[in-house]
Structure 1
Amino acid sequence: MGGLSCGLTLPLLGALLLGAARQPGGAEAYILGLPPTLNITIEIKPGLLPLPANPCYLLTTGKRTSKLLIKPGDRMELLFSCHNPEAHFVIEVKRYIDCTANPCPLGEFQLRPLIAMLPPLNRTFTWDAHAGKSASLELGFRLRLRQIGHGDSCPDRVTYTVSGNIGATEVRIGTFCSNGTVSRIKMQESVKVTLQLPWFDNRPSSGFSMASRSSIKRLCFIESVFEGEGSATLMSANYPGNFPEDELMTWQFVIPPHLRASVSFLQFNNSNCEKKEERVEYYIPGSTTNPEVFKLADKQPGNMAGNFNLSLQGCDQDAQNPGTFRLKFQVLVQSPQNESNVTYEVDLSNERAMFVTIEPRPVRLGRRFVPGCFVCLESRTCSTNLTLAPGARHRISFLCDDLARLWVNVEKTISCTDHHYCHRRSYSLQVPSTILQLPVQLHDFSWKLLVPKDRLGLALVPAQKLQQHTQERFCNASFSYLVASAGAGPGQDLYFGSFCAGGAIEQIQVKQNVVVTLRTFAPSFQRELSGQTLTVTLIPHFKEEGIFTVTPDMKSKVYLMTPHRERGLPPLASVSWNISVPSDQVAYLTFLRERTDLVCQTGRAFMITQDQRTKAEQVVSLEDVLPKSSPHHHNFWVNISNCSPVSGKQLDLLFQVSLTWRTLNMTAILIAVVGGGALLLLALGLIICLVKKNRKKKMNKGPAVGIYNGNINTQIPMQPKKFPNAQKDNDAHVYAVIDDTMVYGHLLQDSNGSFVQPEVDTYRPFQGPTDDCPPSFLIPYSKVPTVKLTTEESSPGFPPETDSEPYTFSHPSKRNGNDANTDVPLLDAHEPAETGE
């Protein structure tokens, strides 16, 4: 058939009886005929779309049909019953080419004048060529091709499909579109090329040529040519299906000498091998170890100058369970970068549980071609991401046009399992210098801290106080700490929040395993990080999920929120805040909304505030309206305990703490001064009266309790008299002795009449939060708030303390009723009274 000849034009095209004629009635008729000497068939058949409500038919020899096959020597006249046959039918033209007896002709396959004589249908041209087992067939493409995946389509709807045969089994090499890098494909023994054209495409030639070549001793050979920077994505034969068993496939890449090439595997699978091993082999010009052999899971070569070959080798697969062997990879060609010749050493030889990952940061690709960013290990094994394992020194380099497109993520595990050894043990959470010296910005450095369950907790102490990130006050810093508990499974982690320097939080305590992540936002974090260190200490276990130690100041308000604000505090969880208040200031606790909208299914949600000096507590139900702003004159606790809320409800609270100067009431001071003076005068008058009355009693009614004996010689020998007047003439030698036990002794007697020796205690001034325990949280079943003792009410029988009070005082050892001492030691846990239903 002249239209499918290799570079040949048959002059007697009319003798082929190919033509078209206009029939009466406006329908266009086609007369198709093939000479018996050409091994060509033409088939017209329905397309893949289902027939519409008004189907279209082929009309030939007065009969209606839906299929028509024209073989060599046939001549047929046909027409269509509709005016848009291209929507209903397709046409396939197949030619068989025998290259075993004679070499296949050179040149490009011509489509004209045949294509102009065919009906305007979507067309598929197939060339099926066979050579001997000791020969190969080469396809040369005038317009280089781009391989596409299974199910993808080409923008211009022009598609090439190349297949081969292994015995009686057909192997699909790939499907291709125009405008790529594939210039040649060689197939061992046989090749089938299919060209799909839309019905309106009337191109004159196929766009490729075929020629006989010597044996390539492998399934196929694909040549990919780069003229400049760019990338190519290629796939193994039969992709995404199984690569043929124990076969070899090779790609040859032609790279301009001034550019560099890197290979990365996008997707691969290994089959179950009985013999040999699946692998990839590289032949790199200038390499002293050719071929370089890699496993599919290895990091592949990069930063290669010049042409190179990549071969994929299969194995003998298990007949019962062969598995799937496939490969999809990308070759990126770009200009060499300045960093490609600089090597950095990452020393992880002293680390046991620290992994360093260098990977691309998420960006939107806007350009058609974006140079790749590769990390190369030992300057040759390159990939888009690289993970460095602990226990070794690693030498890496970068092949990247912009290192800002990469970042570093580090994970380090610190585990202590023996609670006797670990108690009070501390660790400093610092970024090693080997990470900071890399030219790539650190994104996350995560420390996973593991402790014995229900035995030890953790205390995080920063060098500079921290601020919690909230919507009301953002963390505007170059780095922050993200604190989350490491739960038993996915979704069970409790996120405590994000914290940055410059706040009021001195310590964060968590009761279980925790992950602390240092996240950076700007390259300047290294300078700011030098003044901030975070120390973790293993402490005794406690009940709360977390305890925050807060020391506010007058400069700004402190905003605090419950952990997991996005998802709410977990059911039955409790969190406490230990808030310090200076002696000359007052703290105001204020909630930023009026209600929680919380509905409990079981239990009750409560907030307990406790004065740390008087131990006075206030218990408020969180299902009701939240309390108004409340003043606190001493250090105090805030404890929030959750219930089991109904579905869709959650407990999330945000509150603020602000300080103001403590004001004095001048009226009260004046009243106190006047009243104190009056009491003092009254006391002096009573004492004078008592003294005079006792003197009279002693003079009139017998001897006094103690009388000076005037018979004793009070003069020093040989000295003149010191008393010029006679002793009997005055009372200067008489002393009244008052026994305290006779006057006040009834106050020191117990119920049995015996005297009680006073106990002496020493008051120690508060030095800031130490190991004080928060108020024990409770979940009572009454919705009525229980006020045990407000901070504004003084304890019965206990006067207000001031800064001028003495540091030594005494108190009875026995405490009964309201006479008991309310100054409970700071470390004593105070259990709130239970409330009845």
Structure 2
Amino acid sequence: SGGREFTISPDQGTTINIIKSKASSCKVCKFYTYLRQCDNSLTLVTRTDVEFYCTTPEDIFKVEIVRKIGKTYYIMQSDVGFSNLLPFHRTFIWKIEADSQKSFQINFANTGLTQVAPSDSCINKQTYTLRVANILLGKFCSHGTIRSVTIRGHESFSLDLPAGQMLSRGQFNVSVVEKITTLAKISVTLEEGSLSSTLLTPNYPNSFPNNDLMEWYFQVPYNYRTAIKFLNLKQPTCLKDNVEVTYRNEGTSSQVVGLGDVQPEQKQGSFSLRLRNCQMDTRRPDGLSMKLTVTASPARVFLSFLQDTADMGIDNFKRKKTRDRRTGNTNKNNKPKEKEVSSCKIDLGFQNQLSLPYDDEFSYYLTIIHNMLSRCLNNASSILIICLLECCFQIQNFGLSNFNRTITWKFEADSQKSFQLNFANTGLTQIAPSDSCTNKQTYTLRVANILLGKFCSHGTIRSVTIRGHESFSLDLPAGQTLSRGQFNVSVVEKITTLAKISVTLEEGSLSSTLLTPNYPNSFPNNDLMEWYFQVPYNYKTAIKFLNLKQPTCLKDNAEVTYRNEGTSSQVVGLGDVQPEQKQGSFSLRLRNCQMDTRRPDGLSMNLTVTASPDTHLQTTLGVLAALVVSAAVVLMVVYIMMRFLVILIFCSFIMLLQSSYSLVMEVSVYNSGDTNIQTRLENFPEDCEDGIYSQIDETLIYSHFL
């Protein structure tokens, strides 16, 4: 007596274990129809009435809620249906068992996890535990840099909740992936706001499994470097082989180092770290265990200040030959003097470089160059230039906004690939080399040594694809604050043209002006350029060539090729009237001839492209619509007339039947006057007059006697 009673209803596929955690005489009992079974522990799989024979069973028993991950691959954190177990210490356990040829991956991308030592606890008192077979992979708290964990075999993922602690609702996705060869693979994402992480070897502080392999993958921004340190390191006594650490960057060969060596700094973004244990002498008490601290930071930046000279072509900035205010001497030292002012690494290519101090009597020009190779990209990823612009914000914090600056990104595509810069968020507008942008921030695109064009932000140009080497730069005058922004860069299939510029004409921006490469100088000799215009389908597009300069050709002629989507191409000469393009999007290819380079002339021009609604097409569509409506009306009238005719024929047929029926019903009877003859047919309604004789034909009265 004096016990507590519960009714516990496990979900399908859920097992509830009630386990005694302290020595006590208290028992837990479950009831059958006429029986009661009591013990120190209890396992429930169906709805069961339970009774504890003590007043405070939550102080003596703990509860495990075990669920198997089946065809629905997700872990749902929910204690719905178990509210009466809230006073107990509960452990939710999800058991996952992978196929022998597959592995499981648990995804924590929504919140992330942080690894803690087994003796530590989480702030919210909710601690996750991961086990691979019988090996403790680690204990974790919610929110952190760990984004996913992949395991190769059997795994249990559990969540400990102290008594009275409500379970936070949440979900972790579980997916089947290709089999891994390591014990497990933990993926960590280091990004702005969370650039460091601390991890522990499996079974920490006890030994890492004998002769086993563990992998950590670190996703790091491309222009960041990463430092790795091993703390609390305990090394085993090896009978065979040695413990080794293998680093592998994406697309590069691996680097193997020993545990006691200085761990190499990882550069240029993401990498993996593999820890392989040796065959240990298990008779010895020592083993392999350690903490890994991983910290990412922007690569180092060295900046130099380039004095502006007339032959550099920098507008509105002229160097005045005066004496240095601080030294009293004119600076004639041409040796590069570098000052570390930030932590982003930038290549320099200067000839005449000066260091601080600032001097109002001089105009300085600062060039920042960042190199990118196609091996840094693949078809499924892109480089976010906003990460590089962050360097510029850091630079400005050192007062460098007083300098004229050019930020340059250099791209070098693989021989079988091309680069594409995407400006879809804002678009660009092309301007003449002598013009400037309203906001004073001018973008420049070069393909190899060819000026593809100068551009201002906001416009109809959505992307540019180049076939080889490219540089994309942004000029900022002194005192101009850099606008934050982002352009995606991706690797695409190789193009055959010098470049391909994609333009979108739509409502509100139905015209665009473009220039040939190297304008106003000549388009490259015997080369090919493409523009693609995305236009609404029911619009027509007019193309005009202004300021046209034609070359002297030694071979072939300069020509323009138009191609509409799904139609054959149309080739015209430069001097011909350019054909109006109808029915939407099209491409324009300009092919230069083999020029006589001894002549000063060449090929250059402005292209003005204007789209407008195709009124002829609209009229045609209107006429077609009217014809369709008329045809529909005619068909409706014919349908109504045919229906009326059918009804008319049917009614005539019914009337004919009624007429025949009335002839049969007209009967002549002779009455001498002694007999009462009924003149109505039986069973006819009272209001029916069809049974009354209308006449008697006396010639037929006695015909039956003949």
Question: What TM-score do you get using the length of structure 2 for normalisation?
Answer: 0.41
TM (norm. structure 1) is 0.35
**Which is greater in Rg?**
1
